[in-house]
Chain A
Amino acid sequence: GDSVTQMEGPVTLSEEAFLTINCTYTATGYPSLFWYVQYPGEGLQLLLKATKADDKGSNKGFEATYRKETTSFHLEKGSVQVSDSAVYFCALFNQAGTALIFGKGTTLSVSS
């Protein structure tokens, strides 16, 4: 079945460092891909998405490119801030078209 694999956390960075969180997926066809972020005590918020191969999603300085050849959707940001500290989830919309399949989440902690 469809699945998403994310790099294990936690990821600890200093402010202004470069961020990469790896995400790979297993799915048949061309699923839509998403990054959601969860701040402490809150629900999930969509960060960015891409619906077809080679699409680049971007928002708030974060970017991710849908790579069909490597089945990846890695999240990047050039300069992180303390306010980016949160849990990041990679997800795909499953083959059956019924719901999101999430990775286990990666905790990011940014210190000043």
Chain B
Amino acid sequence: DSGVTQTPKHLITATGQRVTLRCSPRSGDLSVYWYQQSLDQGLQFLIQYYNGEERAKGNILERFSAQQFPDLHSELNLSSLELGDSALYFCASTVVGGRADTQYFGPGTRLTVL
């Protein structure tokens, strides 16, 4: 158990819909990362937050957004969903986000878009 929690574990929805994925970091960690894992693209970095502020963006679509709240939990919002958005979405947390820091991953949310 990494100490990072993600809900829900599974999500099935239809094209065009909007969903919210939730992540609670390990106690004491200030930085949260979101990753997407799909068969064709592999594991890709989406976005990073540090202590409530957006710090870095990766390959995140404009239809996707995220935020980190004062209690440090984070939410990833996916809208106008397409079939290709079906994937495993992981969040990871670390104390600060330095280059040598270990990122601790949650168990993931599996999104299926029908």
A residues sitting closer than 8 Å to B (CB atoms) are: 31-32, 34, 36, 42-46, 49, 51, 89, 93, 96-105
Contact = CB atoms under 8 A, between A and B. Distances in A.
A93 B99 contact: yes
Contacts of B55: 98
B42 A105 contact: yes
B99 A46 contact: no
Contacts of B58: 98-99
B56 A98 contact: yes
A43 B105 contact: yes
Interface range for B: 20 to 34
Interface in B43-99: 43-45, 48, 55-56, 58, 90, 92, 98-99
B45 A98 contact: yes
Contacts, number: 54
Interface of B: 2, 4, 33, 35, 42-45, 48, 55-56, 58, 90, 92, 98-100, 102-108
B59 to A, nearest CB: 10
Nearest to B88: A43
